[in-house]
Structure 1
């Protein structure tokens, strides 16, 4: 489904929150050829200020969420939807055909791969089945303790939500006492946050215990076109993290890591950008930690290095050929996120 060049292009970004930078990137790439629409379930969304139009939606798991978006897309002639939040992606993926019927393309991967990315146990199984290295991942506290006794895994261990994101409910356990406490604490964190929705798929095994890999962490932006064809991989060596997101990194030329991104891209046929985390040990062994089927918090560093994925997406929507040079990063570009205060209209606080 390609968009004719003559048609004005309107793009809707859902769950925008504070991803203001992505709105700016797409605004620059789109120019005067269309409008940028931003949606979020809260009006307190700084990204709204950069959009041409914005709208407050029902929450993602509200039964009216999809009907609301369908009506909004039809009314505003939305060309394509781009989701910026993990739990939003599977909901939209399950309704791609509904949006296609009204002429709107949902730029997310197929439901099966989205589920693999969002479920860390399925991520681990996918990686093992396809001959990638990954930290040993378990969902049973009892089984983890047995593995420790048998010498199959050792402390420290990472305890975190099976369906999770950012730094919510993530702990490092150095002994059995901490393992018990953090396992219980993580489960409580899941139950009292928005993580509870996806975790309902298996609430009895909503916490994972994972082998801790000692090594250098890298972030990847793995790029496919809108038909799932591999384009390129940008590799960044992480220097600092903040709240589960990359805070400082530098682009590097690591052929081995880049090839891992390419192999996963060709195996998954994902759509658009795939955010990945990889650890590389001192011995040079690479372990894939996580995959996110969306733009991740590390994408600004790729963009800073010359990777213009927003421009490529717009060109693909128009049916144009994309020169891979615009998806090739400059190496040795060091970046760090800054903190900027944004003033919102005080009226947003009023009922």
Structure 2
């Protein structure tokens, strides 16, 4: 494992928490440091010591699950040990914990933590709250009702031939089901004690929305890590999905989404990057269907087309001017995700170690992703 290095008297250490399978992000942040001439390293935190991203990092620390009462204290001890400059989380549940005061405790230690604050995070984590919050700030979004609110659901069914049901606090399209309005009417008319359940969730944990007919897009809204005006918008048209994540996409011009991005950044106080899912209806109106205040599964398609958000976030953290073309990319560039494998160095007891000796594997992953 490499020794600590310094830039401008300060160690530029990046922690990517809950990195899971996102080997490419670890690789791209490591490349951003090297290409900017900044000394530093990238550590991964995860509850799974075999998380693939751990093998691509300079170092790894295991954390308890978010549901554990030991999670927050262990995270703070780990941060005190590693003394990172930048802390990035890739998990919705962890971002919830950060928004409830944990990010403040990290910032008190001098760590930059781009994430939404409490009210804004609750507004995007809860699909019902999100619909109401976006409507208040004038952002188009599908009308939303709790499945348990039968009066509101019946009123919605009068306006659309088909609906989508999904988990109120879901992530990665969890609980998503499509039904015709007539199918849902019949389901609601059956006796609650005998009717079959939808997705296994209680009625007050499922929301109902119109099934918007149109084309699905994903955009990344990028702001400085401490918040501020939009610095860049990246956009792609989704071609296919797999397990709730974009599997193939083509890069498109982001200028039609610039106004929407500015409204969301200002209304929510976005810090760093946020992944937004949109439906562009056949008549041309864009409607926000989901917001993830983190790197989402669509960002790699913009990166392989030429964008470089890790570079921007590193520069923003240190107060440096980013490369002027970090938010430009080739239009019409088709990308598709693929399977890959990465090897671990192992200690004698079989536990995973960081990847200070995994340069070859990390570089191979970067090449494979970028040439797909």
Cross-structure match for 2:257 = 257
| Distance in structure 2 (CA, Å) of the matches to 1:169 and 1:267 | 28
Cross-structure match for 1:227 = 226
Cross-structure match for 1:193 = none
Shift of 1:210: 1.1
- CA deviation map 1:83-123 (0-9, x unaligned): 00111112123212211232222221222212111111111
Shift of 1:140: 3.3
- Pair 1:41–1:254, CA change in 2 (3 A): closer
Shift of 1:27: 0.8
Shift of 1:72: 0.8
Structure 2 unaligned regions, length at least 5: 1-5, 353-372
Cross-structure match for 1:115 = 122
TM alignment of 1:9-20, pairs within 5 A = 9-20=12-23
TM alignment of 1:216-295, pairs within 5 A = 216-229=215-228, 230-295=230-295
Shift of 1:341: 3.2
Residues 292-301 or 334-343, more deviating: 334-343
Cross-structure match for 1:137 = 144
Cross-structure match for 1:42 = 48
User: Relative contact order (alpha carbons < 8 A, sep ≥ 6): 1 or 2 greater?
Assistant: 2
Cross-structure match for 2:179 = 173
TM alignment of 1:271-350, pairs within 5 A = 271-343=271-343, 347=350
Shift of 1:254: 4.9
Structure 1 unaligned regions, length at least 5: 191-202
| Distance in structure 2 (CA, Å) of the matches to 1:12 and 1:129 | 35
- Pair 1:182–1:67, CA change in 2 (3 A): farther
TM-score (norm 1): 0.87
Cross-structure match for 2:197 = 184
Shift of 1:219: 0.3
TM alignment of 1:152-171, pairs within 5 A = 153-171=159-177
| Distance in structure 2 (CA, Å) of the matches to 1:276 and 1:264 | 10
- CA deviation map 1:29-72 (0-9, x unaligned): 12261121111111231111001111211111322111111111
- CA deviation map 1:270-289 (0-9, x unaligned): 10011001111121111111
Q: How many residues align?
A: 331
Matched, 1:214 2:222: no
Matched, 1:27 2:30: yes
- Pair 1:340–1:4, CA change in 2 (3 A): closer
| Distance in structure 2 (CA, Å) of the matches to 1:255 and 1:317 | 26
| Distance in structure 1 (CA, Å) of the matches to 2:107 and 2:263 | 29
Shift of 1:183: 8.4
CA RMSD of aligned residues (A): 2.4
| Distance in structure 1 (CA, Å) of the matches to 2:302 and 2:49 | 29
Q: Does the residue aligned with 1:98 lie in a helix, a strand or coil?
A: helix
| Distance in structure 1 (CA, Å) of the matches to 2:152 and 2:196 | 11
